[in-house]
Amino acid sequence: MLIKKMVAAAAVACVLAGASLPTLAETLRVGSETVYPPFEFLDSQSGKYAGFDIDLFDAMAKKGGFTYKIRSMGLDALLPALMTNSIDVALSALTITPERSKKVDFTKSYYKSGLEIMTHKDYAPHVKGVKDLKGKTLCAEIGSAGALYSSKIPGVKVRTFNSAAEAFLEINQKGCYAIINDKPVNEYFLTQKAGKSMSLTTVPGLLSRDDYGIAVKKGNKKLKARLEKAYDAVVADGTYQKIYEKWFGKQQ
């Protein structure tokens, strides 16, 4: 009887010890709008997802002892998916805003960005700031911070598109006067083959300064803390800086 009790106690101890350790096979469901270079996009050559966010989360997964699987979806579907437990994490260059923070929780900021104006080169001499966009038709990516900003400009008509790339094409064809969009996305696009073939340019100056965060379901403090711990480790060992320079060059 004593031996049986000792065996049973040992078994319980093993179960309890195992419960405190991260499961190596754990796979987080990560929602992402995968048409948003340079942050996340499908690489046509490798057939795999690539970008700043992807490289960063890869590094965080190694530090945090978890794996993950990307679920591609529209930007406007990410927060509802978190709220209904369809995904565990939203990773898509999400700007941390008061409105979004009412619905989900964000990790600490992992990237500082800002909004800027991009327009057709023919219009550029006439665009010095937001006041020059009043009464115009603007393009915007649906659900983006740029779309929200545009909607508050007096007299504008906002046409929304499923991706920033579609909006850029429409401006190039002069279907819209301009777009207010994230600075790194605009400038990365202009360095690519598609961007170089278009008559687009950015207007100097930032309209806002934004922080990007990784979103989790409201109240999921455990997952938020785990992601932040992994992020801190990536920053501490210099991996974050290497990833940043890969996609954006030296930090100013």
Whichever domain contains 43, its CATH number is: 3.40.190.10
Residues 29 and 107 in one domain: yes
Please tell me the predicted confidence (pLDDT) of residue 251.
Answer: 60
Does 107 map to a domain? yes
Residues 77 and 190 in one domain: no
b/e map 180-214, b = 16+ CB within 10 Å: bbbbbbbebbbeeeebeebebbbbeeebeebbbbb
Does 1 map to a domain? no
DSSP-derived pairing of the beta strands 104-106 and 200-202 = unpaired
Does 12 map to a domain? no
Residues 217 and 100 in one domain: yes
User: Could you tell me which of 171, 83, 84, 75 has the C-alpha nearest to residue 119?
Assistant: 171
Residues 72 and 189 in one domain: no
Please tell me the predicted confidence (pLDDT) of residue 250.
Answer: 64
Residues 47 and 121 in one domain: no
- Reduce the DSSP state of residue 242 to 3 states and report it: helix
Does 7 map to a domain? no
Please tell me the predicted confidence (pLDDT) of residue 11.
Answer: 42
Q: Considering its fold, how many domains does the chain have in total?
A: 2
Residues 84 and 125 in one domain: no
Residue 164 belongs to what domain range? 115-202
Tokens of 201: 């340019």
Does 53 map to a domain? yes
Q: Give 10-residue mean pLDDT values along the chain (252 residues).
A: 40 39 67 94 95 98 96 96 97 95 97 94 97 97 94 96 95 98 88 91 91 97 97 98 85 53
Residues 97 and 133 in one domain: no
Residues 192 and 149 in one domain: yes
Does 80 map to a domain? yes
> Is-contact 118 179, C-beta < 8 A?
yes
Q: Which residues, 6+ apart, have CB-to-CB distance to 241 below 8 Å?
A: 235, 251
Does 187 map to a domain? yes
Please tell me the predicted confidence (pLDDT) of residue 25.
Answer: 42
Does 73 map to a domain? yes
